[in-house]
Amino acid sequence: MALAHPRIVLVTLCLLMFVPGIASVPPLDRDESRFTQATKQMIETGDFIEIRFQDEARNKKPIGIYWMQAVTAGWLTGEPHNDIWAYRIPSVLAGIFAVLFVFGLGRKLFDEEVGLISAGILASSLLVIGESHIAKTDAVLFACVAAAQLLIAEFFLAARQGAPQPKVRYSALLGLAIGIGILVKGPMILFFVGLTVIAVSIWERRWGWIMSMRPIFALGIIILINVPWLVAIGLVTKGAYFTEALGQDFLGKAMSSQESHWGPPGYYLVSLLVGFWPGWLFLAPGIVYGIARSREGAVRFLLSWIIPAWIILELAPTKLPHYPLPIYPALALLCGAAVMAGVRESRSFLDNTPVKVGAVFWLMITIALTGGALFYLPGAYGDGDSVFLWALAVPVLGAAGIAVLFLLRGEGENASAAAIAAGAVFAAIAFAAVLPRLDKVTVSQRASELIARSGALPQATTIVGFHEPSIVFQVGTKIRLSQSAVEAADFLTKTPNSVAMVESRMDAEFHQRLTQQNFVAEPIGNVKGLNYSNGRQVSLTLYRLRKTGP
């Protein structure tokens, strides 16, 4: 599968999968809208030190992602900076860079063909595609981990092969990758790269190579990147940032489940069925290959990247599907190496019972995913399926069937190309043709459009019973989130030219309060749908005071 310009091919593949939907899929609740709203407030106020969501301090994640989003949204959009696509550009770029870094890792650990297949498998994985569409920290952390591991592999292999110590620029770039990773998501990057270094050193019974990375020099760069803002935020918040970010957010998630995000051990193995699709078609060959070649330095490096971090994540009480994303590059590289070994060697890692059983199971999951995305979701949350969507299912299922056929025939390269094609087509269809049409779950978007049509300014708008962050981002920072129907009614009577959006469960109390004050509200419009953040059906009615007199 040698190509004349593999990086151009990979970038093009990424663009085909990562770009569709970044403008048409509305802001997501809750994390994405919290990040984008805080970034928008930085642009509005010119304060790029403190992180706030409306009037509330958001002392959870460091500043890095907000700065990145502020650059793209501030430069590429005008007021009121509500264009969600501009905030998603850092994640799109991070996904592309991560794929290119994995290509480089494949070339370094194995050869160019392994790098190309592995990068393609990674790029087409649903979790990678999804995170590359979302304006939050995880895609950027993913890219930083991939970059750091590429540089660490350079030092590890040089020491193992007795080659000269890599040049000082590699140490500088390592410090840069880790420094940016910390500035984006705190110490999580150290968890992944640190465990890899420790595990492979224990396995190899060699520790001296660590000093070849010039860790003191790299640490100096990490400090230069992070300390100025840390000092500034510490002074501005009088230390509250560190108490909340480290004590409550980071350690809280490590010690107990937060925000109902609990899962049993094995949660992430099950999540691979979706997150690492279509790449897990080659996971069984990858496991067999990893066990058979565990004496090789490249394989040991990848297994040291995967196993310790995976075990700890499975045992941690707080679980979210994207947490193992920084491990996905190593999985993809094992899969790519197994595919090419099966093509080149007399012993095929593709011709065994687990691989054949896994291929059949993969095809069943593919049919289920396609049916769920193209038929169930539009029927349940949109305007129904259509002949158009049925037609779009044909290339996905056709490519998937071809991938399984090639794999069962032992043609790993062709199987990987077909599987990657299935993932690419599926992603493009899902993000461009399906998700934007799920009107029943786009409550915030339709509610904000109704408010805009009413002509009310954000500061003259209140909402009660529906406080998802996306409504703040789309309506405006100064929207009032009332805590009770009484508060919403009082706001409406005391604020000129105002409107109030009231959830149906609070409607009676809202009108009762207005009646007590001799006011009557008239409805402007209504929005109904599913609040997918909590699974509840909502009905939001927009009111204004009825005019009296001539």
Q: How far apart are CA 97 and CA 68, in angstroms?
A: 15
| Residues 77 and 198: beta-carbon distance below 8 Å | no
Helix, strand, coil distribution of the chain in percent, nearest 5: 70, 5, 25
Q: How far apart are CA 260 and CA 296, in angstroms?
A: 42
Identify whether 114 is part of a domain.
Answer: yes
Looking at the structure, tell me whether residues 126 and 215 fall in a common domain.
Answer: yes
Q: Report the chain's mean pLDDT, rounded to a whole number.
A: 93
Looking at the structure, tell me whether residues 428 and 533 fall in a common domain.
Answer: no
Looking at the structure, tell me whether residues 31 and 142 fall in a common domain.
Answer: yes
Q: What mean pLDDT do residues 108-119 have?
A: 97
Looking at the structure, tell me whether residues 286 and 402 fall in a common domain.
Answer: no
The per-residue pLDDT for 550 is 45
Provide DSSP, 92-139: HHHHHHHHHHHHHHHHHHT-HHHHHHHHHHHHT-HHHHHHTTSSSSHH
Confidence of residue 3 (pLDDT cuts 50, 70, 90): confident
Segments forming the whole domain that contains residue 470: 442-545
Looking at the structure, tell me whether residues 452 and 415 fall in a common domain.
Answer: no
User: Cα(first)–Cα(last) distance of the chain, in Å?
Assistant: 79
Q: List the single range of 3-17, 237-251, 253-267, 454-468 with lowest mean pLDDT.
A: 253-267
Last residue of a domain, one of 439, 454, 477: 439
Q: How far apart are CA 244 and CA 59, in angstroms?
A: 6
Quick check: 327 pLDDT over 80? yes
Identify whether 232 is part of a domain.
Answer: no
Identify whether 10 is part of a domain.
Answer: yes
224-283 pLDDT, tens digit per residue, is: 999 999 999 999 998 889 888 876 666 655 555 555 567 889 999 999 999 999 999 999
178-224 pLDDT, tens digit per residue, is: 999 999 999 999 999 999 999 999 999 999 999 999 999 999 999 99
The per-residue pLDDT for 298 is 97
The per-residue pLDDT for 431 is 94
284-305 pLDDT, tens digit per residue, is: 999 999 999 999 999 999 999 9
Note every long-range contact of 283-287, with CB atoms under 8 Å and residues 24 or more positions apart, other chains counting.
Answer: 283/331, 283/335, 283/358, 284/352, 284/354, 284/355, 284/358, 285/335, 285/338, 285/339, 285/342, 285/349, 285/350, 285/355, 285/412, 286/331, 286/334, 286/335, 286/337, 286/338, 287/334
Unique residue bearing structure tokens 């705190």: 186
The residues, ordered by sequence, that sit 6+ positions from 200 with a Cβ below 8 Å of its Cβ are 156, 300, 301, 304
The per-residue pLDDT for 318 is 86
Cα dihedral value 80, 81, 83, 88, nearest 10:
-160
The per-residue pLDDT for 302 is 98
Looking at the structure, tell me whether residues 501 and 389 fall in a common domain.
Answer: no
Max intra-chain CA distance, the chain: 93
**CA–CA–CA angle 354, 358, 362 (5° rounding):** 175
The per-residue pLDDT for 110 is 96
| Residues 228 and 44: beta-carbon distance below 8 Å | no
Looking at the structure, tell me whether residues 335 and 370 fall in a common domain.
Answer: no
| Residues 280 and 128: beta-carbon distance below 8 Å | no
The per-residue pLDDT for 261 is 66
Q: How far apart are CA 172 and CA 167, in angstroms?
A: 9
Above pLDDT 70, what percent of the chain? 95
Last residue of a domain, one of 311, 344, 377: 344
Q: What mean pLDDT do residues 350-356 have?
A: 82
Looking at the structure, tell me whether residues 340 and 366 fall in a common domain.
Answer: no
Quick check: 11 pLDDT over 70? yes
| Residues 336 and 117: beta-carbon distance below 8 Å | yes
The number of folded domains in the chain is 3
| Residues 533 and 27: beta-carbon distance below 8 Å | no
503-513 pLDDT, tens digit per residue, is: 999 999 999 99
Bridge-based pairing of strands 480-481 and 56-57 is unpaired
Q: List the single range of 5-19, 267-281, 309-323, 380-394 with lowest mean pLDDT.
A: 380-394
Q: How far apart are CA 44 and CA 379, in angstroms?
A: 40
C-alpha to C-alpha distances, 8 to 15, 141, 356, nearest whole angstrom: 11, 23, 33
Last residue of a domain, one of 398, 416, 439: 439
| Residues 154 and 142: beta-carbon distance below 8 Å | no
| DSSP 8-state code for residue 384 | -
The per-residue pLDDT for 69 is 98
Looking at the structure, tell me whether residues 430 and 450 fall in a common domain.
Answer: no
Quick check: 549 pLDDT over 60? no
Identify whether 229 is part of a domain.
Answer: no
> Among positive and negative, which fits the CA dihedral 264, 265, 268, 269?
negative
Looking at the structure, tell me whether residues 419 and 476 fall in a common domain.
Answer: no
**CA–CA–CA angle 373, 378, 382 (5° rounding):** 145
Helix (H), strand (E) at residue 530: strand 521-531
Q: How far apart are CA 113 and CA 111, in angstroms?
A: 6
Q: How far apart are CA 362 and CA 15, in angstroms?
A: 25
Query: Is 220 exposed, middle or buried, given 0-12, 13-18 or 19+ CB atoms closer than 10 A?
Result: middle
Looking at the structure, tell me whether residues 216 and 103 fall in a common domain.
Answer: yes
Burial call 188-215: b when 16+ CB within 10 Å, e when fewer: bbebbbebbbebbbeebeeeebbebbbe
Looking at the structure, tell me whether residues 359 and 304 fall in a common domain.
Answer: no
Query: Is 20 exposed, middle or buried, given 0-12, 13-18 or 19+ CB atoms closer than 10 A?
Result: buried
Q: How far apart are CA 79 and CA 73, in angstroms?
A: 10
Side-chain-side CA neighbours of 427 within 13 Å: the count stands at 31
Nearest alpha-carbon partner for 215 in 298, 145, 155: 155
Identify whether 321 is part of a domain.
Answer: yes
Q: What mean pLDDT do residues 84-98 have?
A: 98
Look up residue 45 and give its two tokens.
């106020």
Identify whether 37 is part of a domain.
Answer: yes
The residues, ordered by sequence, that sit 6+ positions from 109 with a Cβ below 8 Å of its Cβ are 153, 157, 298, 301, 302, 333, 337
